[in-house]
Amino acid sequence: MALSVGLVGLPNVGKSTTFNALTKASNAEAQNYPFCTIEPNKAIVPVPDIRLQALANIVKPNKIQASTIEFVDIAGLVKGASKGEGLGNQFLATIREVEIILHIVRCFDDENIIHVEGSIDPLRDIEIIEGELILADVEQLDKKIERLQKKAKLDKKAAAQLVIANELKDHLDELNPVSTFASKDSEDFKEFDSELRFLSNKTIIYGANVDEEALLEDNEYVKILKKYAESKNATVLKLCAKVEEELIDLEDEEAKEFLTELGVQSSGLDVIIKQAFNQLGLINYFTAGVTEVSSWTIQKGWLAPKSASVIHNDFEKGFIRAEVIAYDDYIEANGEAKAKENGKLRLEGKDYEVKDGDVMHFRFNV
């Protein structure tokens, strides 16, 4: 299953530089003026997972296939984006397609890099961006309400939906995000969200773009951002776009050494993907054969047949059983044959809940 992360923020906060660093490809133009990114840049990136290589070292397959994540670099938003300012409507439409928003917030001083608002203020910047997301949702909801009003007199379902829609409209008019709407667990709301894909209902991770010093010790901007995020039950990830960009041309071992020298354990890519997976409740299982060792992303809690569907729909339709070896058991046994000999290979049926790291082989018949 695809995971898509959209990078948003004001112009000149480091989005395109971060995108280049995360995707290890300098294909997103980064310049010191607003709207240098016009079309959204997209990149499919393999999910880093040391377990995949460990399995490959045992199996020695012809091919290694990692799970992937899509990063979308969306042009800098400004005040009035919901009304089309700075080509805002075009950019907001792109955000609707992603699962998670990575909101890059500038948390460093540098007089050589222009800030579109003239000063560094993380909370003001967040208010601008998130306010535009809410206003865009209002516009979408207004159109839906118009349609429901025409149907409500003759359609009981439309009448019930109209009640929820008007409640949501009142909520948004007070500049509250959809994510805090009291009735968001109702079936009528879920139907709205499935159709309209509310921007202010998406999971947001705040990316504090800092200088090297603040990587180790939070500066005042980061402290302010973390306090705000805590009040919203959101997560703040620190990254230094400049440092991440320097990692692009380094080999894995060189990159590790470079990060160690800075006192940092993981790259921005690793941290962002891990947090994105956690936020969306995703896990990976593996298939391991001589032809290919692969990683597959599924929702935590999925049963075996549904989990098999990410390989091919036929696997779910004709599911018979799954052969399962826990990752640690597979590694300890140095492969499937010894794991089976040790009694670590299990046969699981349709009710088996797949666990993170399971090494699986599906039996099916269609």
| Binding region for ATP | 12-17
Q: What is the per-residue DSSP string for 163-207?
A: HHHHHHHHHHHTT--GGG-TTTTSHHHHHHHHHH--GGGSEEEEE
Please give the Cα distance from 130 to 135 (Å, whole number).
9
> 233: buried, middle or exposed (CB in 10 Å: 19+, 13-18, 0-12)?
exposed
C-alpha distances out from residue 15 to 10, 84, 105, Å: 9, 20, 9
Q: What radius of gyration, in Å, describes the C-alpha atoms of the chain?
A: 23
Phi and psi at residue 303, in whole multiples of 5°? -85, 170
Q: b/e for 301-315, b at 16 or more Cβ within 10 A? A: ebbbbbbbbbeeeeb
Please give the Cα distance from 105 to 91 (Å, whole number).
18
Question: Token digits for 284?
Answer: 């990976």
Phi and psi at residue 120, in whole multiples of 5°? -95, 120
Please give the Cα distance from 126 to 259 (Å, whole number).
29
* Coil, helix or strand at residue 291: coil
